[in-house]
Copies of this chain bind each other. A is one copy, B any other.
Amino acid sequence: MRADARRNVEGIRQAALDVFRTGGLTTPLDEVAKAAGVSKGTIYHRFGSRTGLINAVVEELVAERIAGIIEAVDALDGPPLLRFEEYLLRTWLLQYDEPAANDVLMRVLPESEPLTELFWRACQFGSRLLYEAQAAGVVRADITPDDLVYLILERGVIARACDQQTRDDYRRRLDFVLRGLRTFRM
């Protein structure tokens, strides 16, 4: 690989991290190209496709955020309800704060393996917490893991579409949703 090519690959990765971070994974590649100071063609030449580029940055871009939440909540020792709700809350806020992470959780690119993998890790951890909370009788028993996936997907769609609402309002409204998942008399 020639020196300029290596330089460009790195530049494109950095630009992609930057641009995707704020605009999500569906940002036009021209913007990445402009930010990297190269032309769109170079990106395709180097990474094959949009998915190729995403796979090359997803680890640094999103994986650690999601892993961070999982670890943090896993380390939390509190009652099952707290752990369950804390996980949902953090995930939902991540979806608001980071369009790219949201795209992963919304399965915007189903054809990307790393993204699918990430998504499943998040789901499975959520299911575990759900199960524990239900076993403790603090969360409605009729909620399924599928419902959980939908709760996250829903919030993703909302975070994307309702971008006029402030973070505080978004946050406050999450409480309503959490309340709806608890068993009565909480």
Contacts and interface: CB of A to CB of B under 8 A. Distances in A.
Interface of A: 140, 142-143, 146-147, 150-151, 153-154, 157-158, 161-162, 165, 169, 172-173, 175-181, 184-186
A151 B175 CA distance: 13
A162 B157 contact: yes
Contacts of A157: 157-158, 161-162
A154 B147 contact: no
A119 to B, nearest CB: 16
Nearest to A184: B186
25 contacts: A140-B176, A140-B179, A142-B172, A143-B176, A147-B176, A150-B162, A150-B165, A151-B176, A154-B154, A154-B158, A157-B157, A157-B161, A157-B162, A176-B180, A176-B181, A177-B177, A177-B180, A178-B180, A179-B179, A179-B180, A180-B180, A180-B181, A184-B185, A184-B186, A185-B185
- The 3 A-B pairs with the shortest beta carbon distances in the complex, nearest first, are A180-B180, A179-B180, A176-B180
Contacts of A140: 176, 179
Nearest to A146: B169
